[in-house]
Amino acid sequence: MSDQIYIYPTDTVWGIGASIFSRDAQEEIRAIKKTSPDKPMSVLFPGKNLLAHFIDYPVLWDDLFKLEVTFLIPMSWCKQEIPDWVAKGPYLGIRCLENDELKKILEKEGAPITSTSLNLSGGGPITSLDDAMAFQNNEANSAELIHFKDHHMSGMSSTIVKVEEGNTYEIIRSGTNTSKVRDILGLSAT
């Protein structure tokens, strides 16, 4: 585990994160983004094997992660303790995404990473390599930009699905594939 901060591409927008076990890195990310020190971070798992090591989750979600979904799960679903500097309270935001850049970070850190959009708080998300490099140069020059190939990004934030005990679901934020997510989860459009 290190205090290294990473800038990396996702399926939605560029992200910034670090090992969930580095308090200093999480504080620095919040300072870079100019966000509240108490704002929770989501955890990004670069692969289902690592996700299953940390979280009890329904197999149905394996297909949903391909649809740009962030789940807010009860903390009681965690098999391992998630540090409180990542998320305090009853819920944890999780994403699972497999790409070469995230695998490279996992090789370096040996742990899941936090995930938040690469932008200043209140600003629009970054979807181009040029803008990600400019952000790194202007705001986060100690961060390592991990980029191997061009990625198609939807340019929209992920759909957030809040999960209650008993597997009841509620869409908290709509994203690109919200209607498909509703269909798979059996939720009516409201």
Task: Specify the 3-state DSSP secondary structure of 161.
Answer: strand
CA gap 101, 7 in Å, rounded = 10
CA gap 10, 68 in Å, rounded = 9
**Paired tokens of 102:** 């995230």
- Matching CATH number, 6-185, of 3.90.870.10, 3.90.199.10, 2.60.120.330, 3.40.640.10: 3.90.870.10
Buried b (16+ CB within 10 A) or exposed e, 46-68: bbeebbeebbebeeebeebbebb
pTM: 0.92
- What's the mean pLDDT when you consider all of the chain? 92
Q: Tell me the pLDDT tens digit for each residue of 69-88.
A: 999 999 999 999 899 999 88
Q: Tell me the pLDDT tens digit for each residue of 121-169.
A: 999 989 999 999 999 999 999 999 999 887 788 888 899 999 998 889 9
Question: Where is 154: in which H helix or E strand?
Answer: none
Place of tokens 């870079």: 32
pLDDT at residue 152, as a whole number: 83
The closest of 102, 95, 113 to 158, measured between CA atoms, is 95
pLDDT-derived band at 34, boundaries 50, 70, 90:
very high
Domain boundaries, given as residue ranges, for the chain = 6-185
CA gap 190, 184 in Å, rounded = 15
Q: What is the CA radius of gyration of the chain?
A: 16
Long-range CB pairs of 53-59 (<8 Å, 24+ gap) are 53/79, 53/80, 54/78, 54/79, 54/80, 54/82, 54/112, 55/79, 55/94, 57/94, 58/167
